[in-house]
Amino acid sequence: MNMHPDCERIMLTEDQLRARVREVAEKVDKDYDGKRPLVVGILKGSIIFYADFIRFLTMPVELDFMAVSSYGSGAVSSGKLNIKKDLDRDVKGRDVIIVEDIIDSGFTLANLKALLTERGAASVSIATLLNKAERREYGVAPDYNCFDIENEFVIGYGLDYNEQYRHLPYIGILKRSVYEK
Ligand code: PRP
């Protein structure tokens, strides 16, 4: 496989991603048997995982999207969640599956889960591609997770650095020299 020159190494290949995403999606399919969940993708990082994940689902689903960011800056997320694009659908009484690329501090997903629950969702579960458990600061955990990873700077398969590298079909580790310039 051709690796981008800004990558230190490939952490997860296309084949590894496909196999595990399929496995997790099949579990979700079983768990939601008889239901018609609203599958909510969080832009932009989740797009590739989302597109692959939903294609392994056989149950009827509806698709929707949100774009969020946290106010303030700095290493530790502070303040409230800023909704840049809200859902088109009403979540009241719906079973919602939030699809995210990565859970880091947990700030985003803790707030999103609370928000959708407050809006009256019947249930809210979280499906993540990557989990950086050692970085957790907020009390939230994915219900479905594909890979537990160390605290590395990961790019590709939707994940970016300065809006670059999202289109790479694998998950790579970014070279330190790229972000320590
Ligand atoms: C990333 C990721 C999560 C969040 C995780 O989004 O997609 O939403 O950060 O971090 P947390 O657990 O500390 O809240 P980002 O703000 O980079 O936007 P993007 O999805 O558009 O890349």
Q: Which domains does the chain have, with CATH numbers?
A: 12-155 (3.40.50.2020)
Q: CA–CA separation, 53 vs 28, rounded Å?
A: 10
The verdict on the CB of residue 111 being under 6 Å from ligand 1 is no
Q: What is the pLDDT of residue 2?
A: 87
Instruction: Indicate the pTM of the whole model.
Output: 0.94
The verdict on the CB of residue 11 being under 6 Å from ligand 1 is no
**pLDDT tens by residue, the chain, 181 residues:** 689 999 999 999 999 999 999 999 999 999 999 999 999 999 999 999 999 999 999 999 999 999 999 765 444 445 588 999 999 999 999 999 999 999 999 999 999 999 999 999 999 999 999 999 999 999 999 999 999 999 999 999 999 999 999 999 999 999 999 999 7
The verdict on the CB of residue 42 being under 6 Å from ligand 1 is yes
Give the mutation target among 107, 108, 157 for probing the ligand 1 site: most ligand atoms within 8 A of CB.
108
Give the mutation target among 69, 84, 100 for probing the ligand 1 site: most ligand atoms within 8 A of CB.
100
The SS3 of residue 108 is helix
Q: What is the pLDDT of residue 105?
A: 93
Q: Which two tokens stand for residue 102?
A: 């990565």
Is the separation of the CB atoms in 67 and 84 below 8 Å? yes
Q: Which two tokens stand for residue 159?
A: 């994940």
Q: CA–CA separation, 6 vs 165, rounded Å?
A: 9
Residue 169 has phi, psi (to 5 degrees) of -80, 0
- Please name the residue ranges forming H helices in 10-91: 14-31, 47-54
Q: What is the pLDDT of residue 73?
A: 47
Burial 38-54 (b: 16+ CB within 10 A, else e): bbbbbeebbbbbbebbb
**Residue 42 identity:** I
